[in-house]
Amino acid sequence: MILILSKPTISSHIIRSLPGFHGDLPFKLETGYIGVGENEVVQLFYYFVESEGNPTEDPLLLWLSGGPGCSGLCGLFFEIGPLKFNMVKYNGSLPTFSRNPHSWTKVSSIIFIDAPVGSGFAYSRTMSGYKTSDKIHAQHCHSFMRKWLVYHPKFIGNQFYIGGESYGGIPVPILTKYISDGNEAGEKPKIDIKGYMAGNPGTDPKFDWNAKIPFVHRMALISDELYKSAKMTCRGEYVDVKRDNLACQKDLQAITECIHNINEEHVLEPNCPTDGFLFNYSTADQKAREEFQRMVLHAPLKILQFGCRNYENLLVHEWANNVHVQKALHVRMGHVAVWIRCNRSIIHTYDVPSVLSYHQHLRTKHIWALIYSGDHDMQMSYLGTLRWINSLNSTILEEWKPWFVRDQIAGYVQEYSNYITFATVKGAGHTAPEYKRKECFEMFKRWISHKPLSYLNPKFPFSKGHNGNVTSKVKLSGDCASLSLSRTF
C-alpha cells in the first residue's frame, strides 16, 4: 500500500500568456514537472487547463496521447484542447494560434501529459530511466495522478476520467485498472474514477489488423470478387499468414496494390508526403539519438506540403522548439535536445500486446467506457473495434442508431449492458477529434453528463425532394432498419 502523507515536490507554473497567441489566455493554464519512478528520476511534463465552466464540480480528465512517444500538445492543439494553430504557410516567423470553439475544457478540466518518458519535454535524470514499457507507462501515470492530486487537493472530490486515442488505447484501460485497484488497496488520495474513453484505439492485434481487409471492402477500395477470394483463401486471417498459403498471399498482394497509395488515417483525404523520418527513428544509443535530434532541429520538416492536414506538424515543430516558447512554458532547458511531436526514439517494450483482459476486468467494477471511432480510419478501423467489444460477451441494450448534432447525423451509436458505449463519428479519420471537433465535443459532453448520445435525436426526421416535398420518413423508435417510404404529399 502506498500512502502519500506529505505534499510531493512538484515544479508548476501558471501561464498567463503564450507566444503566438494575441493577448492574455482566457483560461487558466498550468505547466509543470512531476517526478515518478524509482527516486523520481523520471520527470513527466504536463499541461493543465482548468474547466471554463465550473471547475469545482466539472469532471477532471487525464488525456494520454498515442505513439507511444507523442506529446501532450497533440491533444491540446489538434484534438480536444482550447487552442488550435492558424493554418497559414510558414514564413519563418513564430506560428500563431486561436481559440478552439469546441474545446472539451468548456465542460471539464483536462491534464495533457507528456508520457511515457522521452515524449515531449519529459526526460529522465539517468539513462536507465529512459527504458519504458506499456505497464511502466501506466504505472508512471498512476503515480503522477496521485501526486498531482496531492498538490491540487480541490480536485480530489471531482469525478475522474481517463482518455486517449490510437496507441493510447493500450495504457488507458491498464491505468484505469491500476487506479481502481489502488483505491481498493487504500492508496491515498482516493481517485473518484468514473470512466474511461478510447478513440480509434489499439486494443488487440487479432481484431485490429484482421479487420483492415473487410474495412477496405466496405469502403469500395477493393472489388467484391477480390474480397470474396481473400476471405476464402485466407480464412479470415490476413496477418499471420502461413508461407505455404500462396493463394492467400496472392490475394493480399492484389489488395496491397489497390490501397498502397491510400491515406490510411482518412481514406478520403489526399495521401500527402509525410514526416516519416521523424516518426520511425529508433536507437538505444544516447549520442546517436542526440545527433539525430540536432539534425532534425536544424533541418525542419521541409517535405510537408501546405494544404495538407499534416502541415500542422511543421507549425507545432517550429513553435515548440522556439526558445521563447519553452521559457514561457517553464521547460527545464537542456534536458531535451529537440521537441518532437511523436518521438519514436524512445526505448519502449510492448509488454501488453492485448488489453482485452483489462477491459473485461473493468466491466466488473462498474466503470463506464466510451469507445469511439472515426469511420474513415483505415489504421484502426471501427470494424475491429466492434469485433473486440462483441468478444467481451456484451449484450446489446440499444441497437445501432444515429446520433445527431444540430439535426445532422454525427455518427452511429450502440449501447451495451456492461457499461460500454460504442460510437462512430461520421466522416472522421484517425483520430476523430482532429477531423470533427464539434461532433466529438458534443459526444464527450453528453457522455460525461450520463446522457445517451442519441438523446437529442429528432423524433421524425424527413427527407425532402428537390421541390421541397416530403418523400421519406425514418422512424427512430427502433433501430436503423425501420425505414418507411411514402408517396410524395
Please list, in sequence order, all residues whose beta carbon lies within 8 angstroms of the beta carbon of residue 372, skipping any fewer than 6 positions away.
197, 198, 199, 200, 411, 422, 423, 424, 425, 432, 440, 443
| Residue 382, Cβ density class (10 Å: 0-12 exposed, 13-18 middle, ≥19 buried) | buried
Q: How far is CA 212 from CA 165, 192, 383, 385, 415, in A?
A: 18, 37, 8, 11, 24
Residue 10: how many other CB atoms lie within 10 Å: 16
Instruction: List the catalytic residue out of 377, 381, 394, 454.
Output: 377
Q: Return the half-sphere exposure (C-beta side, CA atoms, 13 A cut-off) of residue 357.
A: 3
Closest CA to 73 of 325, 299, 283: 325
CB burial string 153-189: b at 16+ within 10 A, e below: eebbebbbbbbbbbbbbbbbbbbbbbbbebbeeebbb
Phi, psi of 371 (to 5 degrees): -115, 125
Cβ proximity of 61 and 110 under 8 Å:
yes
For the question of residue 430 being annotated catalytic, the response is yes
Residues in the chain: 489
User: Which residue reads 506529505 in cell numbers?
Assistant: 6
Alpha-carbon distance of 125 to 332, in angstroms, equals 12
Cell numbers placing 307: 494544404
Cβ proximity of 215 and 378 under 8 Å:
yes
Instruction: List the catalytic residue out of 166, 229, 345, 454.
Output: 166
Amino acid making up residue 225: E
Residue 353: how many other CB atoms lie within 10 Å: 12
Cβ proximity of 130 and 347 under 8 Å:
yes
Q: Please report, in angstroms and rounded to a whole number, the separation of the first and last CA atoms in the chain.
A: 71
CB burial string 66-101: b at 16+ within 10 A, e below: bbbbbbbbbbbbbbbbbbbbeeeebeeeebebeebe
Alpha-carbon distance of 446 to 431, in angstroms, equals 19
CA-derived radius of gyration, the chain: 23
Instruction: List the catalytic residue out of 108, 142, 430, 454.
Output: 430
Alpha-carbon distance of 267 to 428, in angstroms, equals 10
For the question of residue 13 being annotated catalytic, the response is no
What sign results for the dihedral spanned by CA atoms 215, 278, 432, 202?
positive
Query: Which residues carry out catalysis?
Result: 166, 377, 430
